[in-house]
Structure formats: C-alpha cells, structure tokens
Chains A and B, each alone.
Chain A
Amino acid sequence: QQQVKQSPQSLIVQKGGIPIINCAYENTAFDYFPWYQQFPGKGPALLIAIRPDVSEKKEGRFTISFNKSAKQFSLHIMDSQPGDSATYFCAASNTRSGYSTLTFGKGTMLLVSP
C-alpha cells in the first residue's frame, strides 16, 4: 500500500518557469509533510516542510500548498533556475511518536533548461 503518492515522475521546465509537484496521502494521522531535495550522487536534504495547521508556507522561491480536506500537498518553485535541477521527494510522518518515521513518495526528477 503506497501511503504517499507523488506525481509527476519527471518534469522539464524552462528557466523562469514554475514547476509544480503534487503529493497525496492516505493516513490521516500524518501531521508533518516535508519535501526533500536530492542532487545526483548526494543524499537527500530537507528543503521545506509544513504542518497541517497552515495552508501555505513559503521559503524563498519554494512554496508548499496544503489541502487538508483533500489530503494533498504540493511544491511550487518560483522563477526556477538550472541549479534547481534535482530529484524532489515529498514525505509524511506522524510526529506523535518522537522517533516518527518518514514515508516517502517515489520522487520527481526535475530538469530546468537554461
């Protein structure tokens, strides 16, 4: 059972475009939704995260939109740059247990062309 569904699998945009990556979850106990960014040959790194008490969070050019009733959240990258080319993973967890494990989506490979 895939608890976090991510789409699309891959995405190509031109520099300056606004790629959007979508995720949907099933477990209503999830209360923390991070996005991780991974460059080739590197480990994933936390990019931005949101809790379900807010509908949007912005950090620089990155924005998470969250729809609790639809159990969906998405990542928007404003004014995308070639340096944003990477694989992006959404994830979800239930933080009520301190060690709470992350359930990841399958990832989206983003290419921003110059």
Chain B
Amino acid sequence: NAGVTQTPKFRVLKTGQSMTLLCAQDMNHEYMYWYRQDPGMGLRLIHYSVGEGTTAKGEVPDGYNVSRLKKQNFLLGLESAAPSQTSVYFCASKGRAAPYNEQFFGPGTRLTVL
C-alpha cells in the first residue's frame, strides 16, 4: 500500500494563478483532511471531508476550495494564489473504524507564491 500520496511535491506560482493539489489514499478511509504548516504555527486545518461528495470548513478555509468526487481522492484548489498561501500543505486520512483517532499523513506539497 502506498498510503497517502500527494501531487505535486513542489510548486511555484505567481500571485493570481490557480492550481489544484491532489491527495490520494489507498486505505479505503472515509475521512480526509487538508492542513497547512507554517513555521511556528503548527498544523492548521483548512478543510475536511467525512465522505464522498461532502466537505466542511476547518480553521483556515479562506482562499481555498475542496472537492471529494471519489472516496480515495481529495482535491485542494487555490483559485487566485496569494503570497500568504506560501506554505507546506499536508493531506491526511482516517478510517471510520480506527480504534483511535489516528490520522495518516502524506509527504506534503511545498508551495511558494511569488
């Protein structure tokens, strides 16, 4: 099993450009999450999904949109990138039957917005 994979690993955008980050998991997990990690700020939840076709806002949702058309995929979109969105983005997933609340994280996408 590959676990949680993220595409791309690195990306540089200019202000105002758009892009989509792809997260895929092969563990048949129901729940998926997008976080951003900034120095000294920890991990902050952007959006999450409790199942195919459903999404919800997290702590810092502004400027981002998400979609979960397939159970195994969770997409994070930036419609008009801003320098404040320069960050490392992590996707995570969790199974409904997990005995504990363990979330499995992907390797991250480092995004720079110039």
Chain B residue contacts of A107, Cβ below 8 A: 40, 42
Interface residue tally on A, bucketed by range: 20 to 34
Given A99-B50, A102-B101, are A43 and B40 neighbors across the interface (CB < 8 Å)? no
Q: Is B19 an interface residue (CB 8 A)?
A: no
Most buried by A among B4, B40, B43, B58: B43
Name the interface residues of A68-114: CB closer than 8 Å to any CB of B: 89, 93, 95, 98-107
CA distance A100 to B92 in the complex (A): 13
Residue contact B4 to A43, C-beta cutoff 8 Å: yes
Q: Is A32 an interface residue (CB 8 A)?
A: yes
Chain B residue contacts of A102, Cβ below 8 A: 43, 45, 101, 103
Q: Is B96 an interface residue (CB 8 A)?
A: yes
Question: Shortest CB–CB separation between residue A65 and chain B, in angstroms?
Answer: 18
Q: Is A54 an interface residue (CB 8 A)?
A: no
Residue contact A34 to B101, C-beta cutoff 8 Å: yes
CA distance A94 to B101 in the complex (A): 9
User: Contact partner of A99 among B40, B48, B100, B107, CB < 8 A?
Assistant: B48
User: Contact partner of B101 among A9, A44, A93, A105, CB < 8 A?
Assistant: A93
Q: Is A45 an interface residue (CB 8 A)?
A: yes
Chain A residue contacts of B100, Cβ below 8 A: 32, 34, 49
Chain A residue contacts of B31, Cβ below 8 A: 98-99
